[in-house]
Structure 1
Amino acid sequence: MFSRIGAAVGAVVIAAGATWYLNPFQNQSGNDALLSQVPADTVYFFGTSGNHELAKLMQNYPVGMGTPSQQATMDSIEDMGADNPAIAFFFELFLKPSLSSTTAGELINKYGLAAGGPGVFYSHGIVPVMRAKLADALVFDQLVEAAAQKSTWTYTTETFEGLTLKRWQLSELDDETSFDFVIARDDNFATLTLLNKNDDPATVKERLGLSSPKNNLASSGAISAMREKYGFQPYMDGYIHFENLTKQLLDLNNSDLGRDMVRYLPADSVAKLESLNDEALKADILSIANAVPRWVFGYKKLEVKGNTMLMDFDAILEINNTVVTDELVKLRGHLPKHVLSVSNKLFSFGAAVDSSNLVLSLTNLWGAFVQADFKSDAFKQAQEQAKQGNPAMLGMFMGMVQGVKGAGLSVFDVELDAEFNPSKVDALFSVAAEQPSTTAEMAKMLPPLANLELPDDGTAVPVVLPMVPAELELKAAIKGKHIAVFIGDKASAEAEKLSNEALEANGLIATGFNYRKLSTVMDALPISVTGAQSCAAKQELREFMRQMQMDFMLNYDTGPNGLVMGLSGSVEALETAKLNVGGNYKIEYLNDDCEWEYTGMEVINSDGSGSYTEKDEKNSCELYNTKYTWEQQNTKLSFKFFDTKTRLTCDEELKVEKDQADRCYMLNVEDQSFQCLFSAGTEEAFIYRYNKI
Structure 2
Amino acid sequence: MKKVLIAAAVVAAGAAGYWVSQDKGASGEADLILASVPSDTPLFSAQLTPFPIKSYINSVSQNYQAYGDDMFAELEESEDTRAKFMLSLTQTYMESLESGEKFVSTFGLPEKMRSYFYTLGLLPVIKLEMEEPKAVWAVLDKAEKESGFTHEKKTVKGVEYRSYSMTDVGETETIDLLFAIADGILTVTFDSSFSQPETLETALGLAPVANSLADSGILNDIMKTHGFSGDGIGYLNHQEIVRAITTKDGNQLARQLTAFAEQEGEDPFAIVRSNECHTELSSIAANWPRTVFGVNNLSISDTKSHMELETIVESKNKLVLDALSSMRGFIPDYVSQSNSSVFSMGLGIDLNELVPSLTSIWDDMLTPQYQCQVLQEMQGEMSGQSPAMLGMFTGMANGVKGIAASVIDYKFSDDQDNPALESVDAIISLSADNPSMLFNMVKPFAPELADIELKDNGEPVDLSYLLPLPPEFGVKPKMAVKGNHLVIFSGEEGEAKAEELAAETLKSNGLYTATVDYGKMITPLVALAELSGEPMPEELAMMKDYNMQLKMSLDINQQGIVFDSVVDNKATPAGQ
In which range does the TM-score fall when normalised by the shorter chain?
Answer: 0.7 to 0.9
Is 1:439 the counterpart of 2:430? The answer is no
Kindly provide the amino acid, as one letter, of the partner of residue 554 in structure 1: M
- How far off is 1:115 after superposition? 2.9
Residue 264 of structure 2 aligns with which residue? 268
Aligned equivalents of 1:360 and 1:272: distance in 2?
38
Is 1:118 the counterpart of 2:114? The answer is yes
Residue 296 of structure 1 aligns with which residue? 292
After TM superposition, the structure 1 stretch with the greater mean CA deviation from structure 2, 513-522 or 277-286, is 277-286
SS, match of residue 177 in structure 1: coil
Residue 358 of structure 1 aligns with which residue? 354
Is 1:91 the counterpart of 2:87? The answer is yes
Kindly provide the amino acid, as one letter, of the partner of residue 449 in structure 1: L
With the length of structure 2 as denominator, give the TM-score of the two structures.
0.87
Compared CA separation, residues 118 and 33, structure 1 to 2 (3 A):
farther
Aligned equivalents of 1:360 and 1:197: distance in 2?
52
- How far off is 1:264 after superposition? 4.6
Residue 373 of structure 1 aligns with which residue? 369
SS, match of residue 495 in structure 1: helix
Checking the alignment, whether the CA contact within 8 Å between 1:54 and 1:303 is kept in structure 2 is no
Residue 507 of structure 1 aligns with which residue? 510
- How far off is 1:15 after superposition? 8.4
Compared CA separation, residues 79 and 109, structure 1 to 2 (3 A):
farther
- How far off is 1:477 after superposition? 2.6
Which one of the candidate residues 176, 181, 188 is aligned to 1:192? 188
Is 1:573 the counterpart of 2:576? The answer is no
Is 1:229 the counterpart of 2:203? The answer is no
Is 1:475 the counterpart of 2:495? The answer is no
Compared CA separation, residues 54 and 148, structure 1 to 2 (3 A):
closer
Structure 2 gap segments, 5+ residues each:
none
- How far off is 1:378 after superposition? 4.1
Checking the alignment, whether the CA contact within 8 Å between 2:246 and 2:274 is kept in structure 1 is no
Checking the alignment, whether the CA contact within 8 Å between 1:404 and 1:431 is kept in structure 2 is yes
After TM superposition, the structure 1 stretch with the greater mean CA deviation from structure 2, 489-498 or 60-69, is 60-69
Aligned equivalents of 2:301 and 2:149: distance in 1?
45
What is the RMSD computed on CA atoms of the aligned residues? 3.3
Compared CA separation, residues 144 and 8, structure 1 to 2 (3 A):
farther
Residue 336 of structure 2 aligns with which residue? 340
SS, match of residue 444 in structure 1: helix
Residue 314 of structure 1 aligns with which residue? 310
Compared CA separation, residues 399 and 176, structure 1 to 2 (3 A):
closer
Residue 691 of structure 1 aligns with which residue? none
Aligned equivalents of 1:16 and 1:370: distance in 2?
34
Checking the alignment, whether the CA contact within 8 Å between 2:246 and 2:277 is kept in structure 1 is no
SS, match of residue 62 in structure 1: helix
Aligned equivalents of 2:86 and 2:128: distance in 1?
18
Is 1:414 the counterpart of 2:410? The answer is yes
Kindly provide the amino acid, as one letter, of the partner of residue 45 in structure 1: F
Compared CA separation, residues 382 and 276, structure 1 to 2 (3 A):
closer
What pairs up with 1:14-25 in 2 under 5 angstroms?
20=18
Kindly provide the amino acid, as one letter, of the partner of residue 229 in structure 1: T
SS, match of residue 373 in structure 1: coil
With the length of structure 1 as denominator, give the TM-score of the two structures.
0.73
Residue 148 of structure 1 aligns with which residue? 144
Which one of the candidate residues 388, 410, 420 is aligned to 1:392? 388
SS, match of residue 410 in structure 2: strand
Compared CA separation, residues 421 and 168, structure 1 to 2 (3 A):
closer
Checking the alignment, whether the CA contact within 8 Å between 1:11 and 1:94 is kept in structure 2 is no
Checking the alignment, whether the CA contact within 8 Å between 2:187 and 2:204 is kept in structure 1 is yes
Kindly provide the amino acid, as one letter, of the partner of residue 58 in structure 1: I
**Per-residue Cα deviation, 1:508-527 (whole angstroms, up to 9, x for no partner):** 1222211111112214779x
What pairs up with 1:147-186 in 2 under 5 angstroms?
147-173=143-169, 177-186=173-182
Checking the alignment, whether the CA contact within 8 Å between 1:65 and 1:99 is kept in structure 2 is no
Is 1:556 the counterpart of 2:559? The answer is no
Aligned equivalents of 1:57 and 1:128: distance in 2?
25
Residue 498 of structure 2 aligns with which residue? 495
Aligned equivalents of 1:380 and 1:264: distance in 2?
27
Aligned equivalents of 2:358 and 2:171: distance in 1?
54
Kindly provide the amino acid, as one letter, of the partner of residue 444 in structure 1: K
Checking the alignment, whether the CA contact within 8 Å between 2:550 and 2:565 is kept in structure 1 is yes
After TM superposition, the structure 1 stretch with the greater mean CA deviation from structure 2, 437-446 or 489-498, is 437-446
Compared CA separation, residues 51 and 543, structure 1 to 2 (3 A):
farther
Aligned equivalents of 1:174 and 1:220: distance in 2?
42
SS, match of residue 154 in structure 1: coil
Compared CA separation, residues 101 and 386, structure 1 to 2 (3 A):
closer
Aligned equivalents of 1:559 and 1:13: distance in 2?
27
Aligned equivalents of 1:281 and 1:482: distance in 2?
50
SS, match of residue 352 in structure 2: helix
Residue 687 of structure 1 aligns with which residue? none
Structure 1 gap segments, 5+ residues each:
527-534, 578-669, 671-693
Checking the alignment, whether the CA contact within 8 Å between 1:67 and 1:544 is kept in structure 2 is yes
Residue 521 of structure 2 aligns with which residue? 518
Compared CA separation, residues 292 and 460, structure 1 to 2 (3 A):
same
- How far off is 1:10 after superposition? 7.4
Kindly provide the amino acid, as one letter, of the partner of residue 173 in structure 2: T
Residue 325 of structure 1 aligns with which residue? 321
Residue 450 of structure 2 aligns with which residue? 450
* Structure with the higher helix share, 1 or 2: 2
- How far off is 1:231 after superposition? 3.8
SS, match of residue 252 in structure 1: coil
Residue 459 of structure 1 aligns with which residue? 459
* Structure with the higher strand share, 1 or 2: 1
Compared CA separation, residues 454 and 306, structure 1 to 2 (3 A):
farther
**Per-residue Cα deviation, 1:267-326 (whole angstroms, up to 9, x for no partner):** 335544346554323333333333333332222112136722122112222233111111
**Per-residue Cα deviation, 1:207-234 (whole angstroms, up to 9, x for no partner):** 2112342122221121232233334455
Residue 634 of structure 1 aligns with which residue? none
What pairs up with 1:244-263 in 2 under 5 angstroms?
244-263=240-259
Checking the alignment, whether the CA contact within 8 Å between 2:232 and 2:296 is kept in structure 1 is no
After TM superposition, the structure 1 stretch with the greater mean CA deviation from structure 2, 167-176 or 432-441, is 167-176
Aligned equivalents of 2:400 and 2:153: distance in 1?
68
- How far off is 1:550 after superposition? 0.9
After TM superposition, the structure 1 stretch with the greater mean CA deviation from structure 2, 94-103 or 330-339, is 94-103
- Number of residue pairs aligned between Structure 1 and Structure 2: 563
**Per-residue Cα deviation, 1:611-650 (whole angstroms, up to 9, x for no partner):** xxxxxxxxxxxxxxxxxxxxxxxxxxxxxxxxxxxxxxxx
Which one of the candidate residues 527, 545, 548 is aligned to 1:547? 545
Checking the alignment, whether the CA contact within 8 Å between 1:53 and 1:303 is kept in structure 2 is no
Aligned equivalents of 1:367 and 1:14: distance in 2?
34
Kindly provide the amino acid, as one letter, of the partner of residue 81 in structure 2: P
Checking the alignment, whether the CA contact within 8 Å between 1:331 and 1:353 is kept in structure 2 is yes
From the CA coordinates, give the structure whose radius of gyration is larger.
Answer: 1
- How far off is 1:353 after superposition? 0.5
Aligned equivalents of 1:284 and 1:25: distance in 2?
35
- How far off is 1:571 after superposition? 0.8
Checking the alignment, whether the CA contact within 8 Å between 2:50 and 2:114 is kept in structure 1 is no
Kindly provide the amino acid, as one letter, of the partner of residue 459 in structure 2: T
Aligned equivalents of 2:423 and 2:168: distance in 1?
66
Aligned equivalents of 1:388 and 1:193: distance in 2?
47
Aligned equivalents of 1:208 and 1:231: distance in 2?
32
Kindly provide the amino acid, as one letter, of the partner of residue 449 in structure 2: L
SS, match of residue 315 in structure 1: strand
Bigger relative CO (Cα 8 Å, ≥ 6 apart): 2
Checking the alignment, whether the CA contact within 8 Å between 2:177 and 2:191 is kept in structure 1 is yes
Checking the alignment, whether the CA contact within 8 Å between 1:16 and 1:130 is kept in structure 2 is no
